Chains A and B, each alone.
Chain A
Amino acid sequence: QVQLVQSGPEVKKSGSSVKVSCKASGGTFGNHAISWLRQAPGQGLEWMGTITPMFGISNYARKFQGGVTITADESRTTVYMEMISLRPEDTAVYYCAREGFHTPYFVSWGQGTLVAVSS
């Protein structure tokens, strides 16, 4: 069973950027897609985008295109999510999650990373 461990909490100013990591251990890394999702305080879940590390191809929700970049380093079995031009409304817990095999439901999740953005 793959375990996902994310980097620690971040406090950022409006207009800055953040890069969150998600390290996978156990199981195979490259052939399952990993998505990033976020959950604002007291709110529901929002899918941001995904990458299949074996191919290095990313896809994004329209809302996040241009503002979010998802990359993977197979040698480190780590996926990254970088978000630029942060605003206070980007304050949320950000999760990485491993998808089912060729099917985008989310089988296992990282522990979440709180990104707090102040004005």
Chain B
Amino acid sequence: DIVLTQSPGTLSLSAGERVTLSCRASQTVVDNYLAWYQQKPGQTPRLLIFDASKRATGIPDRFSGSGSGTDFTLTISRLEPEDFAVYYCQQYYVPPWTFGQGTKVEIK
């Protein structure tokens, strides 16, 4: 199984700051088959990014994804109050589809 390792585990930030979240795969994720999700407490996950860099419908352009191979990044250009949440990456290149353990972005 492909193991996804996200870092850091927790980020303490203020609104307006730039955020960079990392997702590293244990083997190459071909064709950039990697997605990012946001999950707020008590809510369902929401798809943000697919194919490593394509924004899902309705996602603000402050969210962007990049990377290839084994190293992927989710960037939030300017944190809004509603962006404090847990973020997960997911690979869909090789079944079973696997998720990282999540990065929590919390208010400083």
Contacts and interface: CB of A to CB of B under 8 A. Distances in A.
Interface of A: 35, 44-47, 59, 61-63, 95, 100, 103-107, 109-112
A109 to B, nearest CB: 4
B99 A107 contact: no
Interface in B54-105: 56, 88, 90, 92, 95-102
Contact of B45 (A103, A104, A106): A106
Given A62-B96, A107-B56, A110-B44, A45 B88 contact: yes
24 contacts: A44-B99, A44-B101, A45-B45, A45-B88, A45-B90, A46-B99, A47-B98, A47-B99, A61-B95, A61-B96, A62-B96, A63-B96, A95-B45, A100-B50, A103-B33, A104-B97, A105-B35, A106-B47, A107-B47, A107-B56, A109-B45, A109-B46, A111-B44, A112-B44
Contacts of B102: 44
Given A44-B100, A44-B102, A45-B99, A95 B90 contact: no
B47 A105 contact: yes
A65 B47 CA distance: 27
